[in-house]
Structure 1
Amino acid sequence: MRIPYDVEKRDEPRLGLIVLQSDETIENDLRRLLPSEATLHTSRVPSGEEVTATTLSEMENHIGASAGLLPRPARFDAVGYGCTSGTSVIGVKKIAELVHGGADTRAVTEPVSALIAACRHLGVNRLAFLSPYVAEVSSRMRDVLAENGIETPVFGSFETAEEAVVARITMSSAAKAASELAVDPAVEAVFISCTNLRTLDVIPEIEQKTGKPVLSSNQVLAWHMCRLCGLDAAANGVGQLFSA
């Protein structure tokens, strides 16, 4: 017996996320940061076990296909590519082109564009920059920020290339390092880079200790995705960025 059914029009905000194969952190963070009324779909992109300029650039060959694995019937309000260092190597424009080629979405963002937008929103242009990356990766990221008018006069790194290690760096280590970097009067805010680094729960602690805004890759990405599609992320957000 064929049973009849009804079909409803789904009009809730739809967000997409392209996650690195090696990332163990970003999905949980974004589900905490995004408003409950938004639907989040994720896809994975092949990525190396180590973060180097070479492994990051190789992702360019797979981003379009990964975007194409997001649900086809859905038109997305925004799709985020979840890699800060990969964006700095591949380029903002190229990533947008690849994601648009694979998914039907009104907007594309990534942590670099999101960070730049967050800095402009807060009116800051001098950051203390905390990175987990090796020197060549960190240097490229800082160059991209400088090209967009954001200085990083204070810098520190855990200097590891292993993604599995990055995902297991303690939050207390990140909080201690970020707080020490933020003490320098030359900086107006702190940026903790990498979507795989666990920082979300220590952002309020660092802000309280330093009196300065603290930004992280996952925090700014969630904030920017919401702003691009007119959603209010403040209810579930952390840090001064969400209340500014």
Structure 2
Amino acid sequence: MSTLPYTLDPDDPSAVPMGLIVLQTDETIEPEFRSLFIDDKSPLYVSRIPSGAEVNTDTLAQMETDLPAAADLLPKARPYRVVGYGCTSASSVIGSDRVEQMVMQTCNTATVTNPLRAASACARHLGVSKFALLSPYIEEVNTPLRRAFAEQGISMDVFGTFGESEEAKVVRISTDSVVDAAVRLGRDSTVDAVFLSCTNLRTLTAIPRIEAQIGKPVLSSNQSLAWHMKQLNVSQN
């Protein structure tokens, strides 16, 4: 065997990596992020966090304990400008500030966001605050979610749910079902936007269809998170 010489390429200082912590049960966020980040040259590194097959407040709260270990699995060669935690409902149960604290215990990142924090920032950017909420969750999960948005100045008095707690079913809810439900909610005259909650709910192709029918902005967990991560990545330059 011969030991051969080599050189090292320098890192591109304009392409600082971003991190993403994805639920073990999530089958949607990575495919949707491939489309949402297709023109972004910053590498996106992904770690997984244990999550229950059923979505309830107990399984969501458990992720607070597991966040440092999941963040610790992201590559460490370079610091991050932003790490995203891909769970809307858990962020409402744990709290955005606490999520950030737990991630920063083991990951060198300037900031941390999640779909709740991201959607709130997106709403402020668009100047909308009265949302119709469409979620797949059971009511014990919907209640803290709506409360958390209210604390950000976003009302969700109009809301509907598919009432499904099993993640394997949530990811397979049809796009037509999402569109039909969101249009029904979004046509309410008291709302000025729609939020499609859950990173595991397939929403990317549904958004333009809904907007075309109701003439109002439509945000989703994944779309909002991707937008906010890009904004934070640029602002940290």
Instruction: Give the whole-Å Cα distance in 2 for the aligned partners of 1:135 and 1:38.
Output: 38
Q: Which residue, out of 44, 54, 60, partners 1:56?
A: 60
1:79-94 paired onto structure 2 within 5 Å:
79-94=83-98
TM-score under structure 1 normalisation?
0.93
In 2, distance between residues paired with 1:122 and 1:185? Answer: 18
Query: 1:9 maps to what in 2?
Result: 10
Give the superposition deviation at 1:155: 0.4
Q: Counterparts in 2 of 1:70-219, with a 5 A limit?
A: 70-219=74-223
Distance 2:189 2:126 in 1: 17
* Cα distance between partner residues in 1 of 2:93 and 2:232: 23
- Other-structure match for 1:32: 35
Letter in 2 for 1:6: T
After superposition, the C-alpha distances for 1:92-117 in whole angstroms (9 at most, x for unaligned) are 11100011111111111000100100
Structure 2: distance between partners of 1:227 and 1:191: 19
Q: CA deviation at 1:36?
A: 3.3
Kindly indicate whether the alpha-carbon contact (under 8 Å) linking 1:127 and 1:190 is maintained by their aligned counterparts in 2. yes
SS of aligned partner of 2:3? coil
Q: Does 1:42 align with 2:46?
A: yes
What are the Cα deviations for residues 202-236 of structure 1, in whole angstroms up to 9, with x where unaligned? 111110111000000000000000000118xxxxx
Tell me the TM-score normalised to structure 2 length. 0.96
Residue 74 of structure 1, CA deviation:
2.2
Match of 1:239 in 2: none
Match in the other structure for 1:234: none
> Take 2:11 and 2:51, find their aligned partners in 1: how far apart are those partners?
33
Deviations 1:57-93 (A, max 9, x none): 0111110110000001121121000000000001111
| Aligned-pair CA distance for 1:120 | 0.2
Distance in 2 of aligned mates of 1:78 and 1:5 = 32
Residues 1-57 of structure 1: CA deviation (Å, up to 9, x unaligned): 221111112121311100000000001111211233120100000000000000000
Deviation per residue, 1:179-202 (Å, 9 max, x gap): 110000100000000000001011
* Runs of 4+ deviating beyond 3 Å: none
Q: Aligned partner of 1:105: which letter?
A: T
Distance, in Å, in 2 between the alignment partners of 1:13 and 1:138 is: 35
Q: Which residue of 16, 21, 25 corresponds with 2:24? A: 21
AA aligned to 2:122 is A
- Alignment partners' CA distance in 2, 1:23 and 1:180: 26
Q: How many residues align?
A: 231
Contact 1:153–1:186, Cα closer than 8 Å, also in 2: no
Q: Which residue of 2 aligns with 1:238?
A: none
Q: Which residue of 1 aligns with 2:226?
A: 222
Q: Which amino acid aligns with 1:7?
A: L
Q: Alpha-carbon deviation of 1:178?
A: 0.3
Tell me how large the CA RMSD over aligned residues is.
0.9
Structure 1 segments unaligned to the other structure (5+ residues): 232-244
